Structure 1
């Protein structure tokens, strides 16, 4: 009903239900107005302090560094991320490797599309030239069968000559 009164979605009413809005809305001191009643909020803040203290200075605490394999190094070079293999650092984040792999995959897809279109054009041109020369499959098959019949007749004649 409150969502209908405020002309908003039920998300707002759910937020207002989870906060201490109704408890502090009538009070004169409105400072802790939107404090959430979740039990783990203070623990989460404490763990963030501990994690930030244990993380190496100047580095992100959620950065996942790993050693790139030889194939991943080649991909990093093909993607244009680094100029030489010596420029690649020992540890890279997985996001950098993932972006490089996506770039190489997209380039391979573009190359495949271009080669497919080129192959289609070559087949169209060669088909039109064959049609002009009257090189149809029907004519080629008829010539091949006529040749086989002629060879079979010469073999039969050779067998008949040997028999006499």
Structure 2
């Protein structure tokens, strides 16, 4: 989530927290006072977490790494020929691939093999018996120009 989404969720949870004690109809009205207070406290605590994240994420999120020549490094997460997303860190791109693999095969563990020449990393599935198998998940580093260079076109 981006900071603005955390902020919006915090605001929504704060508004929802105020409704727990005022419920006169519906399923909330059937809850005891203790249950309502517990739900209100949970909403307030969760809102505080999201408000904190909205404040800290811009501070803690690193800027994209500049590549040589004034370019930005971007990492493409991919399954076979399907692009899954583009990220400013290889860790984020790898996390996306790992999450999709482990969603289908939760008992697997995984590791990465990176090609030293082109920097492409391939996700390797590790089975319970220790055998390894390649997957079709890869993370490819890309360079994105920070500005147009008319002389580079020639």
TM-score in terms of structure 2 length: 0.25
Query: Which structure shows the higher helix fraction?
Result: 1
Q: Which has the higher strand share?
A: 2
Higher Cα Rg, which structure: 1
